[in-house]
Structure 1
Amino acid sequence: MRQGAAALGIPLSEVDAAFTAAQRNLRNQFLDQLDQFAGRPADMGRQMEALALKFEDLRRGAAALGIPLSEVDAAFTAAQRNLRNQFLDQLDQLAGRPADIGRQMEALSLRFSEMRDGAAALGISVGEVEVAFSKAKDSLVNNVLGGIRQFLAGLDSGSLSTLSPEQIFRNAQGDYGATLLKAQAGDVTAIGELAGKAQTYLEQARAYYASSAGYSAAHDSVVSGLQMVDSSYTARLPQFAAGGLASGWAIVGENGPEVVNFTSPGRVYTAEQTRAALNGDGGARRSPSCGLKRPS
């Protein structure tokens, strides 16, 4: 490149500066790979240096193409802010702190500005970008509100609760039991929440009963309930102790719980009515089905 520059009358100082910048960039890339291999976060100083080098290249290119340098300067400032916010987000994550909503909103706004400019250049309606931006803002706010709701929900079951230990335990027990019933009936949301509810219940049972028989009973009931839900959905096919043509959600079981799925609504007889029918007593002789229908 030096020989070519000399032949073309280009100052060798420009070639030397480019070579030095390329050396630094290659060195930084190697160090970044080392950090990644070692599981360390990327070095902020090296990232900022790489950004500055890229900025200088862009300024030279803009000058050669007649593009206002103010546009490059604005893009560089935005990139600096974005890099700084990414670094602060990593610090928050490392410290176990929740992500800063202000920084997330700033990053979203920067992204929105870029998309508006791109849409205008491509002839795409800016209104579509604004709608997408509004939805993204709503989603971000809802995520934050979800964390607040989760915190409020945990106030009655944690160390900050004003309830007595027994009340906390009973609430956790009832919450787990209600979620288990929904999960057994096929509620997908309840299935997703079940493990967390079970953990909270057992933590409160341990705090209330210590290591007594009461905790052992709670522990065994949770294990049994979770295994039942797991086996019901991993088996994929309904299983019946007494056979039958079933296909719609219900819990049946003269020999224990069984998950089935009825194709059409059916009458469910109580255990007392079923016993009466099986014993030949009057009243409920119409093919009793012992079980629970899926909640509507």
Structure 2
Amino acid sequence: MSFRHNDIRARVTVIRIAQLVLAVVLILGWELAARYGLIDDFFFSRPSDIAVRLADWFGSGAIWRHLSITLTEAALALGIGGAAGTMIGFFLARTQFAAAVFEPYVRMGNALPRVVLAPIFLLWFGLGIWSKVALGVSLVFFIVFFNTYQGVREVDRVLVDNARMLGASERQLLRHVLLPSALTWILASLHLSVGFALIGAVIGEYLGASRGVGYLISQAEGTFDTTGVFAGMTVLCVVVVVVDIAINRVERYLLRWKSFHGTAITKER
């Protein structure tokens, strides 16, 4: 087991180094192409100029007010959309009649273009955070719902039947069988949902807001400030990566029983 663990650590280290080298090559190539006129820095800016702008934003503290608003909107959208998607997904997966009745409506709702819904949410909820949260929820809900629905439907029927034969109630079945089995699907949906929650918040801010990273990007675009646009996008990319790392840690913690189970099987063999 120690050799295998060392191999995994070595592989992860190699991957991280390759990712870092790729990032350096891309950024350096972008900078040189802009400096030597291979690309027009009016449209693409320069990494060095973007770094200076980011240093100015974070050094002055101007970015924190906007970033906190965007993260609040995204967190609310992720929490509300994720909870609703999980609960409704479980309910419809366990109730065949209700699933058959609501299936066409769910698919129609998922087919609606969210960009079209954004102005409607602005009319309904105003220019505050709730119009952005509503747009984020409309994106997150369906991702989590379909993953939860499929995850519950994919649970081994023999396992469910055995639990029922042992006298498990619906609540016990949900807690000890269905939820652990579907947890991998649900957590996988959260990786996608984080990005979509941020997309919903930023699009809403872009269309109408007085604060937020989307507002910063909109203002920069309105003055043809490509450096500001790329700086705003860089902030969003870093936030998504940081949150995804946090979700990976939570996922490893929640699914640690799989590692223990695999280790036990290996020892028995």
TM-score range, shorter chain: under 0.3
TM-score normalised by L of structure 2: 0.27
TM-score normalised by L of structure 1: 0.25
Q: Which has the larger radius of gyration?
A: 1
Structure showing greater relative contact order (alpha-carbon pairs closer than 8 Å, 6 or more residues apart): 2
